[in-house]
Amino acid sequence: MKEYLSYPKHYVAVDCIIFGFDGENLKILLVKRDLEPKKGEWSLMGGFVDDKESSDEAASRVLNTLTGLKDIYLEQLNTYTEIDREPTARIMSISYYALINIAKNININEQYSAKWFDFKDIPELIFDHEAMVRDAVLRLRRRATTRPIGFELLPEKFTMKDLQNLYEAIFDEKYDKRNFTSKINALDVLVKTSEKDRSSSKKGSFLYTFDEKKYNKKIAEGFMFKI
C-alpha cells in the first residue's frame, strides 16, 4: 500500500542457538562467519527471513541447511532490535533455540566450518550472540524445571545416569544419585526396559524410554515436571 512507502524498511533475520548433549556435557553448535565484518569469527547459525516464509519456517530451513535434520525441537526465544547490533545495516533478529540429540546421524554442512563446543568453553561470539546464548540457557533451564524437555537431547533409550548427567549439565550443579532417581521415578513418565547398558560395568544399568503419552495425560491434568 502507498501509505507504507514512507516508513523505513528493515531486514529481519533469525539466529539459532543449537544445543546438544554428548552424555556428559551440554554442547552448543557454532559456525564461522563467512563474510565481513567479523569474517572467520565464531557465530550462531543464522539467515534472513525470505518473503514467502514465517520466521519459524526460516529457522527450520536454517537448521536443516546446517544439520540436514528435520522435525527438530525448536522454540522462539526473543527478538533483538538494538539500533547498532550489526554495523552493516538495520537488522532485527529473532532468536530460536534448538535441541539436538548428538547421537543421531547429523550431516553437518562443511561449508560453515561448524564445531560443537562445551557450554563452559564457548569462544567469543560476534555482535550480540553471547546475549542470545545467555537468554537461551535461562529459557532451557526454566523449561527443564516444568517439562521433560531434556529428553530431546537424549537417545531413545537411556540410563538413569544419562538422565542425571543431562540435568546436571543443564543446571551446572550436582545431584545425589539416590534422591535424583527417587524424584524421577515418582514422576512416573519413564518406562523401564529389560535391556541394559553394560559399557561401564559388567552388571550394567537398565535402559529407560520416555512415555510421551503418559506425560501428555499428566500435563492435561495439571501436572508439573520438577526435579
166: pLDDT strictly greater than 80: yes
| Residues in contact with 88: Cβ distance below 8 Å, sequence separation at least 6, in sequence order | 37
Is the distance from CB of 18 to CB of 102 less than 8 angstroms? no
Q: Which three cell numbers stand for residue 104?
A: 543421531
Name the band, by pLDDT with cuts 50, 70 and 90, for residue 171.
Answer: very high
Cα–Cα distance for residue pair 26/165, rounded to 1 Å = 9
118-142 mean pLDDT: 96
> Which domains does the chain carry?
2-146 (3.90.79.10), 154-220 (1.10.10.10)
Beta bridge partners of 93: 13, 80
Q: Which three cell numbers stand for residue 85?
A: 547490533
Q: What is the DSSP letter of 158?
A: B
Name the band, by pLDDT with cuts 50, 70 and 90, for residue 225.
Answer: low
**Beta strand pairing status for 11-21 and 91-101?**
parallel
pLDDT of residue 167: 92
Which tens digits make up the pLDDT trace of 73-126?
999 999 999 999 999 999 999 999 999 988 776 889 999 999 999 998 999 999
Q: Which contiguous run of DSSP H or E holds residue 57?
A: helix 55-67
Q: Which three cell numbers stand for residue 145?
A: 524445571
| Side chain identity, residue 175 | Y
pTM: 0.90
Which tens digits make up the pLDDT trace of 15-65?
999 999 988 899 999 999 999 999 999 999 999 999 999 999 999 999 999
**Beta strand pairing status for 205-210 and 45-48?**
unpaired
Residue written as cell 524445571?
145
Is the distance from CB of 73 to CB of 63 less than 8 angstroms? no
2-18 mean pLDDT: 91
**What backbone phi and psi angles, to 5 degrees, belong to 207?**
-95, 145
Residue written as cell 519413564?
190
